[in-house]
Chain A
Amino acid sequence: MIKKIFSEPLSHFLLIATSFFFIYNFISPAPVDENSVTVTSGRIDQLKSRYKKVWQREPSEEELAKLIQNYVLDEIYTIEGRALGLDIDDGVIRKRLRQKMEFMLQDMAAITPPTEQELNDFYLQQQDKYKNPPQYTFSQRYFSLDTEQAELIAVIELQQERIANKLAPQGENTLLPEHLKAATSFEISKHFGRSFESALQAAPLNKWHGPVRSGLGLHFIKLEQIIDGVLPALAGVEEQVLADWRYHQNITFKKRFEEKLLEQYQIKIQQEQSVGN
């Protein structure tokens, strides 16, 4: 129960937001009287250093006085503007507030490291990503569809005869490798197109087989070995799993946070019933 409440994104957010609030108040206490503006020495230091950054020198006394006066006016305008309700419905302010909140959310997601159980669950759930891919060792001979159909049929029949006589088929000379050793799905689709792996899976072992179709044309294949994909132990890929967990946590954390927020509000959408399309 405790754990559950703690892992709620909204609670995280509130915890951190409040600490911000307290720290801020501690550093620069707000003016007490509604009609007064206090410029603290910390604020003056900040104005100075900002000036220094732009102009690469200290402001003169006169310049500092102007900076302070300008700051005071900023404050007064802000108070007066708020009193007039000018901050309400201001697109710029709204967008800034949302961005600030989103930024606070961003890394909060991964503040608490996952428990062993959580990490293991995540690893099993995403296991396809960590699995060593299956590997295929095979020979292939290629025949393009560029030749006339009758000629192509004759060529294919000739190869089938060769195979029957225990001879290897003779393919066209192209940029395709004739023998692939422990090739992964990625490598196979890079050479032969995305549909070719399934043809290999269906092929018999140590026997010329075909013709089968690829993204390039026709092939005879002789499959020598398939090494099934295995899932390595978590210890061997933990660093990657942890990085992925953080990445996913960021995404789901924000989604859950927004869902929670939406739950706390009654949303009424007063949309006119549209007529036609």
Chain B
Amino acid sequence: MVKSKISIALALTLTLGVQGCTDKTQDKAEATPKVDEASTELMAKSSQSDIAINPTNDVYFGNFHIHTSYSFDGFTNGSVTNPDDAYRWAKGEAIPGGGTGGDIQIKRPLDWYVVSDHAEYMGVFKQMSNPANPISQLPIAKRITSKDQAVAFKAYSEVNDGMNAGISDPQLTDPKVTKPIWAEVVATTESHNEPGKFTTFPGYEWTSAPDDRNLHRVVVFKNATAIPELPFSTIDSNKPEELWAWMDKQRANGATLFAIPHNGNASDGIMFPENKSFGGSEMNTAYSDARMRNEPLYEMTQIKGNSETHPDLSPNDEFSAFEIWDYTLSPSAVRPTNRVGSYIRDALLRGMKQEAEGKGNPFKYGLIGDSDSHNSASSMEEDNYTGKFGMENDANHRLNGLPGFPEANNVQVREFGSAGLAAIWAKSNTREDLYAAMLRKETYATTGTRIKVRTFASFNYSMGMLEKANWLESAYSDGVPMGGDLSAANLQGAQSTAPILVIQALKDADGANLDRIQVIKGWVKDGQTFEKIYNVALADDRKVDSNGKVTAVGNTVDAKTATYKNTIGDAALSTVWKDPDFDSKVHAFYYVRVLEIPTPRWSTYDAATLGQVPRTDIPVSIQERAYSSPIWYTP
């Protein structure tokens, strides 16, 4: 019955199809001469020169670390969208969210965005459904695309485990399949780049995780010039040293690129090695140079947890237990055992110690926050959280457990934080200016909100400089911004014998008030590392007491309705701070941490949506924050 119906329809289509085609060709031919190419070109040119340049820089918020269904795990875990959708999402369009939920849309669009799907099997899992592609004929394709989630997940786990053990299925890495996919991703990225309005960079993720210990890096290209035909993946090598060597080679070929490591927290101590690296390198100048030549920035906070520091490493830091995600990458929720080598504050300290020992500083990182969402949408808005994977696009599932998932994995999902943001101080929103700012590390991380932070340091600032209208120009001309360097040479003939930091912070214009500004200082003396936290600006006229303590800012969060009030905290905080404990003979760094007042966590918004009491196994409220890149002092 059905068959005969189709045959009739078919016969009809075949007869009419030819006429239809002719029809369209004519339309197209008529349309062509009407496009005035000269005027189009003129418009493009004039819009280029219209881009306003701010010599004292503006801040641009975005993400480098975004996956789509082109990532093998993105596809398996329910993403239904492509790189094109991802860029559309960042610009403010609604896109399909996958899972059992509806469309997803950002409330406040971003300035720039990078899709960085896993290099390994990029786009291949998705192509398994495409009958025109030979890989859809492979037996694994049937299992990967199975409707039975258990079958699909098992097949995915095998591929994933194989990848982490250095074994790959050559059928899935055939360059004939993967080259056109990578070329398509680069072309999509190019098509969404709008100088002055919205910036994109071609990128991908190198997914090395030996024995489930995370060494992942996002690789970012400044543009498509001399971009390699295929990305270097962990199948080529899982050693960072080999990645850097490949990157050096790309540079020699004319490409411009860097890598951003992330999730030291899930590396079980191998992200920032103490003695010998996973790749077998000794900690020496050659290693430090190679690492810093290729990696100016570190992604210190993202969905899979915060990597600033751990309470075990910084027991005196009352704010250290923020969105800690204490797992390796094992699918069976295994805890890491090594804290040292997993967190950035400790790495900044040890890097400086190595430098003091004459071995160079391999961990002189600028800081950014990012996402690692696998659903095209970064999902940094706490009140608009849509999860890391497509299958989490349902408040009940991500909060109370995904059907068919072991409870240990559901706990991991619940402990995901919403995404962070990378903030870049640049002259304009273009590839050229953003890239230059990243190389000089004039960046900061936020845990997702759009706090504004400026930090400068010098031996020549005046304590009253913030009262001057042109303080910003003097801050640049007489000192260095975040990510910069001071040295003993700057001390000669200087007005001050200790570094003076100028710090300004302004709340997210649509967000919560600020609690405080802190300076986190690290230094090395007699072969030992030290850290100290200074509360340098406090909201609500609070003062540091004689024991160095500060009363908490308070908490206005109403868990039931998932709301808060800006009746506590300040909109703006600023200070000119002189290091009271400076020793010009030792290495030191200073980075700034700005805390917001408590606001509801995504899980609290979800509970309110579902009309349930907030869960007790995760925090009800969190203090979102920003971290500036450090400023280093070298004696």
Residues of A within 8 A of B174 (CB): 53
CB atoms of A96 and B504 under 8 A apart: no
Is A63 part of the binding interface, using a Cβ–Cβ cutoff of 8 Å? no
A238, B35: Cβ atoms under 8 Å?
Answer: yes
Q: B571 to A243, Cβ gap below 8 A?
A: no
> B35: which A residues are within 8 A, CB to CB?
235, 238
A54 to B14, CA, bound (A): 41
Task: Verify if A99 is at the interface (C-beta below 8 Å from B).
Answer: yes
Q: Are B142 and A92 in contact (CB-based, < 8 A)?
A: yes
Shortest CB-to-CB span from A54 to chain B, Å, is 6
Interface assignment of A206: CB less than 8 Å from any CB of chain B: no
Verify if A60 is at the interface (C-beta below 8 Å from B).
no
- The residue of chain B having its C-beta at the shortest distance from the C-beta of A170 within the complex is B469
Bound CA span A2–B22, Å: 12
Q: Are B509 and A6 in contact (CB-based, < 8 A)?
A: no
- Known interface pairs A146-B570, A216-B571; A5-B510 also in contact (CB < 8 Å): no
Contact with A along B447-478 (1 / 0, CB 8 A): 00010101000000000001101010000000
In the complex the two chains form, what is the Cα distance from A100 to B347 in whole Å? 49
Q: Point out the residues of chain A lying under 8 angstroms from B169, CB to CB.
A: 54
Interfacial residues of chain A within 1-40, with CB under 8 A of chain B in the complex:
2-3, 5-7, 10-12, 14-15, 18, 20
Distance in angstroms between the alpha carbons of A144 and B569 in the assembled complex = 11
Interface: B151 (CB within 8 A): yes
Q: Is A229 an interface residue (CB 8 A)?
A: no
A15 / chain B contacts, CB cutoff of 8 Å: 10, 13-14, 17
CB proximity of B489 to chain A, nearest CB, Å: 30
Which B residues are in CB contact (< 8 Å) with A186?
A: 109
Taking the complex as formed, is A207 at the interface, i.e. its CB lies under 8 A from any CB of chain B? no
Q: Is A232 an interface residue when CB atoms closer than 8 A count as contact?
A: yes
Shortest distance in angstroms between A162's beta carbon and chain B's nearest beta carbon? 16
Pairwise interchain contact A190-B34, C-beta atoms closer than 8 A: no
Contact (Cβ within 8 A) A215 B509: yes
Nearest-neighbor residue (CB-CB) of A196 within chain B: B509
**What does the 1/0 interface line of B16-28 toward A look like (CB < 8 Å)?**
1101110110011
Q: What A residues does B509 contact at CB under 8 A?
A: 189-194, 196, 214-216
B52 touches A181 (CB 8 A): yes
Q: Give the contacting residue for A174; candidates B23, B40, B146, B572; CB below 8 A.
A: B572
Interface flag for B252 (CB, 8 Å): no
Name the one of A5, A100, A173 contacting B467, with C-beta atoms under 8 angstroms: A173
Tell me the residues in window 205-250 of chain A with beta carbons closer than 8 Å to chain B beta carbons.
Answer: 214-217, 232-233, 235-236, 238, 243, 247
Question: Taking CB as reference atom, which chain A residue is nearest B570?
Answer: A146
- Residue from A53, A145, A236 within 8 A of B40 (CB atoms): A236
B574 adjacent to chain A (CB < 8 Å): yes
For B19, the closest partner residue in chain A by CB is: A2
A181: chain B residues at CB < 8 Å are 52
In the complex, which of the residues B9, B21, B36, B136 has the most CB atoms of chain A within 10 Å of its own CB atom? B9
> Which single residue of chain A is at the shortest CB-CB distance from B27?
A115
Distance in angstroms from B90 CB to nearest chain A CB is: 12
B131 at the interface (CB under 8 A from A): yes
The chain B residue sitting closest to A186, CB to CB, is B109
Known: A115-B24, A175-B504. A236 touches B9 (CB 8 A): no
Contact A216 B43 (CB under 8 A): no
Shortest beta-carbon distance from A113 to chain B in Å: 6
Among the listed B27, B40, B109, B147, which residue makes an inter-chain contact with A95, where contact means beta carbons less than 8 Å apart? B147
State whether B52 touches A112 (Cβ < 8 A).
Answer: no
Tell me, yes or no, whether A116 is within 8 Å of chain B by CB.
Answer: yes
Query: A56-B170, A186-B109 are known contacts. Are A3 and B20 too (CB-CB below 8 A)?
Result: yes
Query: What is the CA–CA distance of A233 and B38 in the complex, to the nearest angstrom?
Result: 13
A176 within 8 A of B: yes
Which residues of chain B are within 8 angstroms of A116 by Cβ–Cβ distance?
27, 30-31, 34
Supposing A11-B13, A14-B13 touch, asked if A175 and B506 sit within 8 A by C-beta, the answer is yes
Pick 17 A–B contacts, CB within 8 A, sort by A: A3-B20, A6-B13, A6-B20, A14-B6, A15-B13, A15-B17, A50-B171, A53-B171, A112-B24, A113-B28, A173-B574, A189-B510, A193-B510, A194-B108, A215-B509, A216-B507, A236-B43
Given A5-B16, A115-B27, A216-B506, 10 more contacts at CB 8 Å? A6-B20, A11-B13, A12-B13, A54-B171, A95-B147, A96-B129, A99-B129, A191-B509, A194-B108, A238-B35
Nearest 8 CB-CB pairs, A to B?
Answer: A95-B147, A6-B20, A193-B509, A99-B129, A215-B509, A146-B570, A116-B31, A115-B27
